[in-house]
Amino acid sequence: MSSVRKTETIPEWKREEVDELVEFIGSFNSVGIVGVAGIPSRQLQAMRRELHGSAAVRMSRNTLTTRALETVDEGVEQLTEYVAGQVALIGTNDNPFGLYQQLEASKTPAPINAGDIAPNDVVIPEGDTGVDPGPFVGDLQAVGAAARIQDGSIKVTEDSAVLEAGEVVDDDLANVLAELGIEPKEVGLDLKGVYSDGALFEPDELAIDVDEYRADVESAAAAARNLSVNAAYPTDRTAGTLLAKASGEAKSVGLFAAIESPDVVPDLIGQADAQLRALAAAIDDDEALPEALHDVDAAPDPETGETDAEPGDDETDETDDDTADAEEPTDDADDDDGDGGGEGLGEMFG
């Protein structure tokens, strides 16, 4: 009796579906698997519209999705380990980090049902529930909330943790949360894994704080710039700063050493003028100064614009009176005073 060998016949629609999935996978730089469990059809369609232009979602049977991933190969077949439950393919030309941030931002709060597993701790916040006195206060207390009737309303007197992450929601808690309008879970496309540029990324590797990451990069760049400047290591970003720093230091040395360089001479003259004015203003003996330096005030402060000492009206009047009482000097005395003052300053300045 001869045996008849039977071969599996794959329906044409399955072949076409796999071909379309292969084409979908090959048309994006980054391909991932997203969970779609618990997302209402209407909300799922809204999410797909929101992603339009930046990412595309393709749903199919898990067996066909797996076959398509294995057909493409090239490393993307690693995504088959995430093909379980209600999932879909997602493709984008964005980087995996941008895709993850976009999917997380698109998630919306949703009520939790009896039998669901709490994704995080469930807390009933302190405050007025807005519910009139009645049996609901007992329902709150039964689920572990600190509640009582106060001022004609049911109030929760303190933040009350009623369920821990990973625990199952029972009927009583689901009803209480629904009555209070508390939506403890988020609904959205849950990224399981994404393959991009030869690497496989999981959600915990993509969950970075963008603002903190940017601040770290900016801080590192500033530290590198300071190191380059302090070490006098020129780069295209620090060459200008190094030249300005060197120019300022060279000018300071020139002023300190009184080097008669064309770039320093104006500052040397200004410095000498300020020193001369300060010295002349400090000398209270007209006979020690040439006539040109009589009544010379100190150079004004470059920041305030004020001199160190400005004589008042009383001092002026007193000086005038003393001058009127003094004897008129002779011409010889004038000449002697002028010559003596010049020689005195000459000795002072070498």
The whole-model pTM stands at: 0.54
Helical pair 62-72 and 12-26, crossing angle rounded to 10 deg: 50
State the first-to-last Cα distance of the chain, in angstroms, to the nearest integer.
133
Of 46-50, 265-269, 336-340, the one with minimum mean pLDDT is 336-340
Q: How far apart are CA 112 and CA 177, in angstroms?
A: 8
Q: Which is more confidently placed, 160 or 304?
A: 160
Domains of the chain, with CATH numbers?
12-107+188-203 (3.30.70.1730), 122-182 (3.90.105.20), 224-256 (no CATH), 258-348 (no CATH)
Segment 216-254, tens digit of pLDDT: 999 999 999 899 888 888 888 888 888 888 888 888 888
Mention every residue, 6+ apart, whose C-beta is less than 8 A from residue 310: 297
> How many angstroms from the chain centroid is the CA of residue 268?
46
**Number of other residues whose CB lies within 10 A of the CB of residue 49:** 9
pLDDT at 8: 60
Nearest alpha-carbon partner for 65 in 81, 52, 43: 81
Average pLDDT over residues 8-26: 90
Q: How far apart are CA 20 and CA 64, in angstroms?
A: 10
- CA angle (12, 8, 5) in 5-degree steps: 145
pLDDT at 306: 56
Residue 339 has pLDDT above 90, yes or no: no
